Amino acid sequence: MTFHVYYSANASRHPARPFHPERPHRTHAALAGLADIDLPGLSFVQATHASVDAARTLHDTDYIDRLLEPIGQRPGEKKTYRVLDGGDTHQAPDSLDAALEGLGSLQDAVDRTMSGEITGALVATRPAGHHATRNQAMGFCFISQAALAAEHARSKHGARVAVLDFDVHHGNGTEDLLWDQRDVFFASTHSATLWPLTGSGESKGAHGQILNVPLQPLTGGREMRSAWTRIFSRLRKFSPDIIIVSAGFDAHMADPISNLCWKAEDFDWLARQLGEVGRDVCGGRIVSFLEGGYSLPVLYDEVPAYIAGLMGADYQRISNAGSRFGRIDGTPYVPGTFTALTHPILKFQYRKAFQRQWIQDQDNGALLYTPPDFVKLNSREPLEEIAAAASERGVLDIRDIVRLERLCG
């Protein structure tokens, strides 16, 4: 069994605003977690790029044209980013390319899975996509990669496709793009009371091919398992040729912006049940795309557990500190939203600026990490220790940040 994990060579090409929960560190945590397990058949593959025309197959052409406009040319617009939806979704110069990298990787994974070259795949890139509608970016999303990958599988391979979404936020963009697609089944569980407040049980698609099961706040594994048992029953009847999963890990009870209470054993149950159903109905052809999930420890723990569950395998943790997937580099935060610090003391050092605590790369002045608001530090000592270890090692490793946020989250 060969399972591909697609990663971006530069996770920071789509930078984050300071203090924002959607940050490049998320994919670092997921990939480091995968690198730190012994799971036969797991293969890491560099992400591949889709053409912009691939996004036009379902998104409105004028919307894609707006995304292609150079940053900084609209009246009153900053030179380094533009706000697309009133606040949550910031587009930097390379953001669309980063989104197309996720789409290209999904298309490649679909092709290889349909040909039998690989059994399945995870695309662990960012930004996510399931909130992007036909003509609007929102919810940190620019293009709906999962819906576009389903269209690719349908048009190129003649496949019947199922798209499943277990993110805590409803995939309103995916639903919008797939509303009229008779040969694509879309099913979602999500919080009934969180943004975008869509995905009611009455939203069934133009052909009844959509199944939404909203969950009430603070519900956990019992309600989740009941919902997904219902979805799996419909999935078996639909009998897809391939399954595409919008894999969001923010329904976990430890996620900072969730109001559901899923636990590790619930994600494990979901993955193993999905893997079993997938092997029964489509030969195990399951391609997943990382959507939400904002707790770094949850991503580090649950993404590898999810992949192992899909494969029906057990795994052990191994020590792989210093691997390429743990290294934080580039410029994770949007330039222009603050002034870079100077006067280096160490290669990596703890600094305080803008009423925040930071770890800074003294080679280029880049601010590499600041604890988000949901991580509560009682002193500066943990950051100083991480900075000192990074200086000695020459690398700021995501595993140190995961440990910090596990203790203080």
Task: State the Cα–Cα distance between residues 288 and 85, nearest whole angstrom.
Answer: 26
Q: Which of 197, 271, 3 is nearest to 119 (CA)?
A: 3
134: DSSP letter: S
Q: Please, is 319 exposed, middle or buried when counting C-beta atoms within 10 Å of its C-beta (0-12, 13-18, 19+)?
A: exposed
Task: State the Cα–Cα distance between residues 375 and 357, nearest whole angstrom.
Answer: 11
Buried/exposed code over 214-230 (b: 16+ C-beta within 10 A; e: otherwise)? bbeeebebebbeebbee
**Is residue 295 classed as helix, strand or coil in its secondary structure?**
coil
4 contact partners, CB below 8 Å, separation of at least 6 = 43, 44, 45, 109, 112, 118, 120, 121, 122
Maximum distance among all alpha carbons in the chain?
A: 64
Helix (DSSP H) and strand (DSSP E) numbers for the chain = 11, 15
Question: Judging by DSSP bridges, how do beta strands 316-317 and 161-165 pair with one another?
Answer: unpaired
4 assigned to active site: no
The catalytically annotated residue of 25, 90, 130, 131 is 131
Other CB atoms closer than 10 Å to residue 392's CB: what's the count?
A: 11
Helix (H) or strand (E) run with residue 33 in it: helix 25-35
Sheet with 356-361, side-by-side order of all strands: 348-353, 356-361, 367-369
Q: Please, is 19 exposed, middle or buried when counting C-beta atoms within 10 Å of its C-beta (0-12, 13-18, 19+)?
A: middle
Tokens, residue 213: 């099961």
User: Among all residues, which ones are annotated catalytic?
Assistant: 131
